[in-house]
Amino acid sequence: MNTMQALREKHNAVALQAREFVEANNSTWNADFQAKYDNYMNELDSIKNQADRLEAVLNKTSEDHVQSRVIESAEKLVKSKPENAYH
């Protein structure tokens, strides 16, 4: 699985390649250049989508972990208090 850092690095590298490609060929643009440009953009979109999915899973995992820790703490607190402690 790609880590978020690896995806960022890959995105930055492809974005730099795309930028250099456009800067080098913009004045003589043709259909072949457009096809290569489109490939760069599709790859960038794909990397971004991978990063978005990974981020969503990481956030959900983190939220679920926090929620389970809160429940565990509440259960421990309830078990540690005598039933008549509030009466």
pTM score over 0.75: no
- For the stretch 48-80, pLDDT in tens is 999 999 999 988 887 666 566 656 666 666 777
Q: How far is CA 75 from CA 51, 64, 67, 80, in A?
A: 36, 16, 12, 9
- For the stretch 3-50, pLDDT in tens is 999 999 999 999 999 999 999 999 999 999 999 999 999 999 999 999
Residue 40 near residue 12, CB atoms below 8 Å:
no
What ranges do the domains of the chain cover? 4-82
User: In this structure, what token pair is assigned to residue 20?
Assistant: 């250099």
